[in-house]
Amino acid sequence: MGAAFQQAWELIRSGDPELLNILSTTARVSLTSSLLALLLGVPLGILYGVGRFRGRRVLIVLNRTLMGLPPVVCGLLFYLLFSGVGPFGKLKLLFTVPIMILAQVALITPIVIGTMETYVAQTAPALRETALGLGFGRGKRFLLLLNECVSPMISAYLLAFARAIAEVGAVAMVGGAIAWKTNVMTTAIMMYTNRGSFTLGIALGLILLGLSLLVNAALSLLQRRLNP
Amino acid sequence: MKTAAFTKSYGNRTVLRLPALDLPEGMITAVIGANGSGKSTLARVLAGIEAADGNTTVLKDCSVGYLPQKSYAFRMSTRRNILLNGEDSARAEELMQALGLEDLARQRAGKLSGGETAKMALCRLLMGTYRLLILDEPTAAMDMESTLAAEELIRKRCRETGCGVLLITHSIQQARRLASRAIFLHRGELAEQGDAERVLYLPQDPLTQRFLEVYGV
């Protein structure tokens, strides 16, 4: 373990070009997919939480099922859809970063929707009753609800980002873990471990944990600033 | 003001079946009754939070301000919560001072105690102008001193603006202190309504008499 720490430090200090490439691909994939999931998931989560429309319960159950979707199944679906014989094969997206982002968006958006839906469903009735009692219109009620949602949005983003950065099954299947192109931290760890380079694998794992810790700490600080 | 007669049901269960009720302007009307008698449902229907059966219009052309039983503090400071319902900051200061909230003005409202949140919610409601105020147990979480201060604010608002007040309360003493009229509900039906002096001191209805006996007043 000590050797792994040393090697992780050496890798960072030396500015190893392959490591930097893996890091930048990981950051691109995880940050973009989690942001897209947030943009898609927050409005849907709010809609599921406050909306009273036919089929809402079915959608909620479906979403909760998708929250547990195994990454490899998600990867397989995207592989079939975007492979040469699939309906979107002509787009030639397989083994590129955009398809890795798409697969992760499909995987983590249900988490954002679920987190927001649970919070909004608990908060909205009391908020609505108070706001209606004061005579506030629909627009003002919606803005107040959005203001209440800041903290759960950060929590939802943290969950989505954590799932995205730690995920390996989907990105490996649709990205192919191609060195200098689609290799991310998790697929690189798998690759080095398969080659027997355990120390390098552990070193990368430590860097991955460090990155995750940094993002979590930054967002937790932001959350505390917003809710002192 | 007079409400329309209406019923309110949840599924097959009718929880309220009421004739027209008098809610005179410039007067405080207390609604009393045991748990489950339909007091809060009445408040929620009159406030438009819930619809009466058949979407009956219960109150016509009336601006209603409603304070729910459980006060909600929006994610902002106490002062900003109060100013959500009006921009007159001098009025907000006056209200906060009347209920002893001035030192908590900058504090995040989510960190207030139950009683303080109730005071903040009452101040917030009183920032607005309404023809009818519906207050669902506004002082239930407050200590005696704050209760008396809140009652004075309610009385003053009613006197100065001529608005009607529907006060839902469990406290017969509070109803006697504040109300000019009283409504007694029993299992979702009107048992008695009239002058507070009569309903709260010399009730005609045996159910009201028994209720007052149980409360020891």
User: Could you tell me if B130 and A139 are in contact, meaning their C-beta atoms sit under 8 angstroms apart?
Assistant: no
Give yes or no: residues B187 and B160 share one domain. yes
Q: In whole angstroms, how large is the CA radius of gyration of chain B?
A: 17
Q: Which of A128, A135, A147 sits opposite B74 (nearest CB)?
A: A147
Give yes or no: residues B91 and B112 share one domain. yes
Question: Can you tell me the mean pLDDT for B172-201?
Answer: 94
Give yes or no: residues B133 and B166 share one domain. yes
Q: In terms of Cα–Cα distance, which of B203, B168, B35, B124 is closest to A135?
A: B124
B123-175 residue pLDDT tens: 999 999 999 999 999 999 999 999 999 999 999 999 999 999 999 998 999 99
Give yes or no: residues B47 and B91 share one domain. no
CA distance A114 to chain B (A): 22
Asked whether residue B106 is domain-assigned, the answer is yes
Q: Residue B161: which CATH number?
A: 3.40.50.300
Give yes or no: residues B117 and B145 share one domain. no
The phi, psi pair for B214, rounded to 5°, reads -60, -40
Percent of chain B with pLDDT over 70: 99
Considering chain A, what is the average pLDDT of its residues?
92
pLDDT band at A201 (very low <50, low <70, confident <90, very high): confident
DSSP state of A156: H
Per the DSSP assignment, residues forming a β-bridge with A40 are none
Domain boundary among the residues B128, B151, B172 is at: B128
Domain boundary among the residues B111, B128, B145 is at: B128
- How far apart, in whole angstroms, are the C-alpha atoms of residue A152 and residue A146? 10
Give yes or no: residues B89 and B106 share one domain. yes
Lowest mean pLDDT among A197-211, B18-32, B47-61: A197-211
- CB of A197 within 8 Å of a chain B CB? The answer is no
Alpha-carbon distances of B185 from A36, B10, B133, rounded to whole Å = 54, 18, 19
A33-71 residue pLDDT tens: 999 999 999 999 999 999 989 999 999 999 999 999 999
Give yes or no: residues B15 and B109 share one domain. no
Give yes or no: residues B135 and B190 share one domain. yes
Considering chain B, what is the average pLDDT of its residues?
94
Per the DSSP assignment, residues forming a β-bridge with B182 are B30, B194
- Could you tell me whether strands B181-186 and B6-10 are parallel, antiparallel, or unpaired per DSSP bridges? unpaired
CA distance A213 to chain B (A): 28
Give yes or no: residues B161 and B207 share one domain. yes
* For testing contact with chain B, the best of A129, A144, A223 (most B CBs within 10 A): A129
Asked whether residue B142 is domain-assigned, the answer is yes
Does the pLDDT value for residue A173 go beyond 60? yes
- Comparison of pLDDT for A14 and A120, the residue scoring more: A120
CB spacing of B65 vs A133 below 8 angstroms: yes
B21-55 residue pLDDT tens: 999 999 999 999 999 999 999 999 999 999 999 98
pLDDT band at B89 (very low <50, low <70, confident <90, very high): very high
Give yes or no: residues B27 and B50 share one domain. yes
Domain boundary among the residues B101, B128, B155 is at: B128
Residue of B nearest to A135 (CA): B65
- Comparison of pLDDT for B157 and A225, the residue scoring more: B157
User: Could you tell me if B23 and B1 are in contact, meaning their C-beta atoms sit under 8 angstroms apart?
Assistant: yes
Asked whether residue B46 is domain-assigned, the answer is yes
A66-109 residue pLDDT tens: 999 999 999 999 999 999 999 999 999 999 999 999 999 999 99
Asked whether residue B110 is domain-assigned, the answer is yes
Asked whether residue B197 is domain-assigned, the answer is yes
CB spacing of A228 vs B108 below 8 angstroms: yes
Asked whether residue B68 is domain-assigned, the answer is no
User: Could you tell me if A75 and A170 are in contact, meaning their C-beta atoms sit under 8 angstroms apart?
Assistant: yes
Asked whether residue B1 is domain-assigned, the answer is no
CA distance A120 to chain B (A): 14
Would you state the pLDDT for residue A200? 81
Give yes or no: residues B40 and B144 share one domain. yes
- CB of A133 within 8 Å of a chain B CB? The answer is yes
- How far apart, in whole angstroms, are the C-alpha atoms of residue A81 and residue B51? 48
The structural domain count of chain B equals: 2
Question: Can you tell me the mean pLDDT for A131-156?
Answer: 95
- Comparison of pLDDT for A69 and A9, the residue scoring more: A69
Domains of chain A listed by start with CATH number: 2-226 (1.10.3720.10)
Does the pLDDT value for residue A4 go beyond 80? no
B90-133 residue pLDDT tens: 999 999 999 999 999 999 999 999 999 999 999 999 999 999 99
Question: Can you tell me the mean pLDDT for A172-189?
Answer: 95
CA distance A116 to chain B (A): 16
- How far apart, in whole angstroms, are the C-alpha atoms of residue A205 and residue A6? 13
Asked whether residue B54 is domain-assigned, the answer is yes
- Comparison of pLDDT for A24 and B212, the residue scoring more: A24
Give yes or no: residues B153 and B194 share one domain. yes
A contacts of B44 (beta carbons < 8 Å) = 129
Q: To 5 degrees, how large is the angle CA A134–CA A135–CA A140?
A: 95
What is the span of the domain harbouring residue B100? 73-128
